Amino acid sequence: MEKADKNNTHLISIRFLLLYFFIYAIIGWLLETCYALGTLGYFVKRGFLYGPLCPIYGWGAVILISGLKKYKSKPFKLFIYSAIIFSVFEYIAGFLLDALFSSRWWDYTNDFMNLNGRISIFFSFAWGIIALIFIYFIHPFIEKISKNIVKKIPTNIQIIIIEVLTSILLVDTVLSSINYLP
């Protein structure tokens, strides 16, 4: 009986991580779109996918929630680890996008202390600050709202919604990848 409870808890945590991935990927897309709109003055499709998702934000949130949230009581460590981990993550993502699709979605070449234009000291510092804001303010707020909403949705419907969203993401990723292949 205890093993079944552990499996159910694991399912619940994976389901919530997927939910948070989608929430933060959408928020990331909105932030990117608003930033582009504000700086350029017109709408620009942001991100790699056709749909309104920036997966790098979703994955970043999942990394924070599942791996770095434990440093909540140690803000300096949270800041340092986040700055390092997200700089490495951003570099790898930028490298892979460039290697696979011969395209850059961001370029920090003109920024002070950048590494191949994929990361810069400013954004490394920013990732550390954003992680603190995320762990202390943003995620607790989103977590409270999402748990209240999820409580009202039957488990089988939750699973169907997550499966449908994941399927849409996979199809979008494949179609977007085909579009960007050189």
Average pLDDT over residues 79-90: 97
Residue 1: its pLDDT value, please? 37
- Mean pLDDT score across all residues of the chain: 91
Query: What are the helix (H) ranges across the chain?
Result: 2-40, 55-63, 75-101, 121-133, 139-151, 155-180
In whole angstroms, give the CA distance from residue 37 to residue 53. Answer: 16
pLDDT at position 181: 87
- In this predicted structure, the answer to whether residue 97 has a pLDDT above a threshold of 80 is yes
What are the tens digits of pLDDT across the range 36-72? Answer: 999 999 888 888 899 999 999 999 999 999 999 999 9
Q: Distance between CA atoms of 118 and 128, rounded to whole angstroms?
A: 17
The reported pLDDT for the residue numbered 3 is 47
**Cα(11)–Cα(162) distance, integer angstroms:** 12
Compute, in degrees rounded to 10, the torsion defined by CA atoms 37, 41, 42, 47: -30
Query: Where is pLDDT greater, at 90 or 43?
Result: 90
Task: Label residue 80 by pLDDT band (50, 70, 90).
Answer: very high
Dihedral, CA of residue 172, residue 69, residue 83 and residue 136, to nearest 10: 100
Q: Is 152 exposed, middle or buried (0-12, 13-18, 19+ CB in 10 A)?
A: exposed
How much is the average pLDDT of 73-102? 96
pTM: 0.87
- Predicted confidence (pLDDT) at residue 105 exceeds the cutoff of 90: no
Q: What is the mean pLDDT of residues 19-33?
A: 95
